[in-house]
Amino acid sequence: MIITTKAIVLNTIKYADYDMIVKCYTELGVKSYLVKRIFKQKTGKLSPAFFQPLTQLEITANYNSAKTLHFINEATISHSYSTIPLEVTKQAIAVFLSEILSKVLREEEVNQHLFAYIETAFIWLDTHTMSANFHLLFLMNLTKYLGFYPESKEGSLYFDLENGKFVNQPLSKHYLSGKNLTHFKRLLGTHFDVLHELKFTKKERQFLLENIIQYFELHLPGFHKPTSLEVLKAVFS
């Protein structure tokens, strides 16, 4: 069956000498595709440049529900990024977030609202200059779709990371308090268009990211720190 869908590239693996396996988040969920002879042909409809992390495509592919690997017939770039490929900070953010999405998005998930969120968020990143805190807000908002967005409660002294709740007495050994709690709460309810109003020092940003990663680890079985995390830290150091 031939299906056309929007797709966001998550990662790629070179297969054999000339082929590539591309993992994408599509309007149909997470799908993997085999692109034949992409490293062999000097000219053609497809090139490796089409499949950089988070590239937004429209693809036409042979789809077989009984198989886990499908074949791309055609692909076009649906939104051409103008700044993400050129700016080191945005490149690092894109690689980091594509790795996180690869870990948390499931094969069977079809979620049009989640797809639209990812699609529009990265267009926002590409078209705006204030990007230092983008990955923090993106991850926090992502928890809404993954089912563990923090329960808000004004005046609480702690945020229990393990239970996802604001409390006056920690229920586990994993919790935030003081300034760390204040920084964490500032992300809640924030929209990308007012992201520039969030001011964090490098140390605060790094610690906040570590808290969010720990939050993911506590709520997603099998989730581990991305290997690209150290590169991201180096870029912001």
Q: What is the pLDDT of residues 212-235, one digit of tens each?
A: 999 999 999 999 999 999 999 999
Specify the number of domains making up the chain.
2
On whether both 107 and 206 belong to a single domain, the answer is yes
Whole-prediction pTM value? Answer: 0.93
On whether both 132 and 212 belong to a single domain, the answer is yes
CA distance 33 to 24: 8
On whether both 214 and 138 belong to a single domain, the answer is yes
The candidate with the shortest Cα–Cα distance to 21, out of 43, 2, 36, 6, is 36
The candidate with the shortest Cα–Cα distance to 18, out of 34, 35, 45, 38, is 38
- Contact present, 209 and 226 (Cβ < 8 Å): no
On whether both 127 and 14 belong to a single domain, the answer is no
On whether both 124 and 60 belong to a single domain, the answer is no
What per-residue string of b and e applies to 4-20 under the rule 16 or more CB within 10 Å gives b? ebbbbbbbbeebeeeeb
* Cβ partners under 8 Å of residue 119, min gap 6: 6, 8, 56, 79
85-125 per-position pLDDT tens digit: 999 999 999 999 999 999 999 877 789 999 999 999 999 99
- Contact present, 5 and 78 (Cβ < 8 Å): no
Single out the residue in 79, 112, 129 at which a domain terminates.
79
> Which pLDDT score is estimated for 37?
78
- Contact present, 122 and 54 (Cβ < 8 Å): yes
Report the DSSP pairing between strands 69-79 and 29-35.
parallel
Single out the residue in 79, 104, 128 at which a domain terminates.
79
- Amino acid in position 224: H
CA distance 109 to 40: 34
On whether both 58 and 94 belong to a single domain, the answer is no
On whether both 120 and 66 belong to a single domain, the answer is no
Average pLDDT taken over every residue of the chain: 92
On whether both 60 and 120 belong to a single domain, the answer is no
- Coil/strand/helix, residue 205: helix
Domain that holds residue 47: 2-79
Confidence of residue 42 (pLDDT cuts 50, 70, 90): low
Measured between alpha carbons, how far apart are the two ends of the chain, in Å? 49
The token duo for 189 is 């309810």
Strands of the 175-177 sheet, one edge to the other: 165-167, 158-160, 175-177
Range scoring the smallest mean pLDDT among 30-34, 54-58, 61-65, 197-201: 61-65
On whether both 105 and 167 belong to a single domain, the answer is yes
